[in-house]
Amino acid sequence: MTDFWSGVGVDLHLEPDAAAGRRAGLERALRDAVREGRLAPGTRLPATRRLAAELGISRGTAKAAYDQLVAEGYLTARQGSGTEVAPLPSNTVSAPVGGPRARAPRFDLRPGSPDVGAFPAAAWLRAMRRAIAKAPSLAYDYGDPRGRIELRTALSGYLGRARGVTAPPERIVITSGYVQGLALLTRVLDGGVVAMEDPGLPFHRDVVRRGGGTVVPVEVDGRGVRVDGLDDPAAVVVTPAHQYPTGVTLHPERRRALTDWARARGGLIVEDDYDGEFRYDRQPVGALQGMAPNQVAYLGTASKTLGPALRLGWMVLPPDLVDAVADAKLHSDHHTESIGQLALAEMVTSHAYDRHVRACRLRYRRRRDQLLGRLGARWSVRGIAAGLHALVEVPDEAEALARAEAEGLALGHLGDHWHAPAGERPQGLVVGYGTPRERTYPEALEVLGRVLDGLARAR
């Protein structure tokens, strides 16, 4: 027999075994629910009178079952406070899936994340209220797989003026982030060969491979991706504004050569503009897409400007890819959640988004300057004109990482980013300056400085 409890403040589900007897069946159902974690410690249970009425048993049977489980330590009962699930004994707590959790570092200078403590909560709440107040009822229904027209229209104007992107709303598809956009494109390419920067982010290579694509490396040097290293892939994935992880900006001659290659070969350029808004020492470098709108799939995200938790990204696609990507999106998750899209559209159109980005740009430039002030006199620090990370060249990555770990400092390193170890590779630490909170960042830099000073003395 399956019974649902209602009217008790929470929805609960039990399957008492009637064959075992009413009291024994109820005891076993409650005991199993606690053991299996379906009734968490602290969960308030219904009063015996209400439970008896819901299950069609006597109140005395319900009370006897509760009393037995209290005696066994599964429940606690206090006068005036009702009956709750008892705290689990320490020896019954399961280990986390995948093994023990690693201890969190004291200082986190790993790249890839913004300062989530600077999320504009007040501005987001205002935008959310305004968006919900004027949202049509259909906004709460299933939507267009390309995304809400309000956000696509807002992004069309923003990307044009801020990043130089040719972005008509009908060529924009909203995603849950860059990773989904890359996966959708891989699916549309139907397992084609995809050239990806070397060094580059290993996780992105995994996304392409899991989508059925074949990944080949293309070398990055001091001028960016080497176009003469492209054979004949279906697509090439690049980070032209601020290459990850070296921080190089794609040289103008390489930009022209890359777009010429795409036009001549019919290849697709996938532009990952993950931190293009954060430029510090000169005018922002416009998106590559503006040079060849029909050859470039431009991918952007709110993960670095607002925060990864929002799961909002966008693709500006060549006209011949829009329908195929929208169909792949439809069969992936139907559409990205709509309310966040409406709130972001409100932030963009009211220019609250611009104000937030400018404030972040000043904050991150200040952090970048502090990093240079602490390390720049003794170490080569590269990739500092933009973005949320810098590359610090070191003679021995392994030794530097071991010293950092001993200090409770987490860093990225260049060795993780090569497609495959082959001969002598440049070595360096990939230092993110977005993640730490403002109050902890100076101390994190001091620890990093001590690590590198110790490394220099040891040599």
CATH number of the CATH domain containing 226: 3.40.640.10
Sequence-ordered list of residues with C-beta below 8 angstroms from that of 158, at least 6 positions apart, any chain: 348, 353, 354
Token look-up 């330590």 returns 73
Whether residue 182 sits in one domain with residue 124 = yes
Q: Which of the four pLDDT bands, split at 50, 70 and 90, describes residue 23? A: confident
pLDDT attached to residue 310: 95
Whether residue 416 sits in one domain with residue 280 = no
Whether residue 86 sits in one domain with residue 147 = no
Query: Would residue 454 count as lying in a domain?
Result: yes
CA dist 406 and 429 (Å) reads: 16
Whether residue 368 sits in one domain with residue 326 = no
Token look-up 């990043």 returns 163
Query: Would residue 144 count as lying in a domain?
Result: yes
Whether residue 8 sits in one domain with residue 141 = no
Residue that is last in its domain, among 321, 336, 352: 352
**What does the pLDDT look like over 199-236, one tens digit per residue?**
999 999 999 999 999 999 999 999 999 999 898 899 99
CATH number of domain containing 32 = 1.10.10.10
Q: Could you give phi then psi for residue 298, rounded to 5 degrees?
A: -95, 125
More confident residue, 283 or 329: 329
Q: Which of the four pLDDT bands, split at 50, 70 and 90, describes residue 19? A: confident
**What does the pLDDT look like over 75-106, one tens digit per residue?**
898 877 788 899 865 444 343 444 444 567 88
Whether residue 257 sits in one domain with residue 211 = yes
Whether residue 293 sits in one domain with residue 374 = no
Token look-up 């990806």 returns 196
User: In the predicted model, what is the mean pLDDT of residues 352-374?
Assistant: 95
Query: Would residue 101 count as lying in a domain?
Result: no
Whether residue 75 sits in one domain with residue 138 = no
Whether residue 207 sits in one domain with residue 260 = yes
H/E run at residue 196 = strand 193-198
Query: Would residue 192 count as lying in a domain?
Result: yes
Domain total for the chain?
3
pLDDT attached to residue 391: 96
Provide the mean pLDDT of the chain.
89
User: In the predicted model, what is the mean pLDDT of residues 380-396?
Assistant: 93
Beta strand residue intervals within 7-140, DSSP E: 12-14, 75-78, 82-85, 107-109
Query: Would residue 97 count as lying in a domain?
Result: no
**What does the pLDDT look like over 2-14, one tens digit per residue?**
444 444 445 567 7
Q: Which domain holds residue 332?
A: 119-352
Tokens found for residue 377: 């006199």
Strand order in the sheet with 296-301: 172-175, 313-316, 296-301, 268-272, 235-238, 193-198, 214-221, 224-225
Whether residue 392 sits in one domain with residue 332 = no
Q: Which of the four pLDDT bands, split at 50, 70 and 90, describes residue 376? A: confident
In this prediction the pTM is 0.82
pLDDT attached to residue 21: 82
Whether residue 304 sits in one domain with residue 198 = yes
In this structure, of 40-49, 239-248, 271-280, 441-450, the range with the lowest mean pLDDT score is: 40-49
- Three-state DSSP class for 436? coil
Residue that is last in its domain, among 352, 372, 398: 352
| Residue 105 near residue 406, CB atoms below 8 Å | no
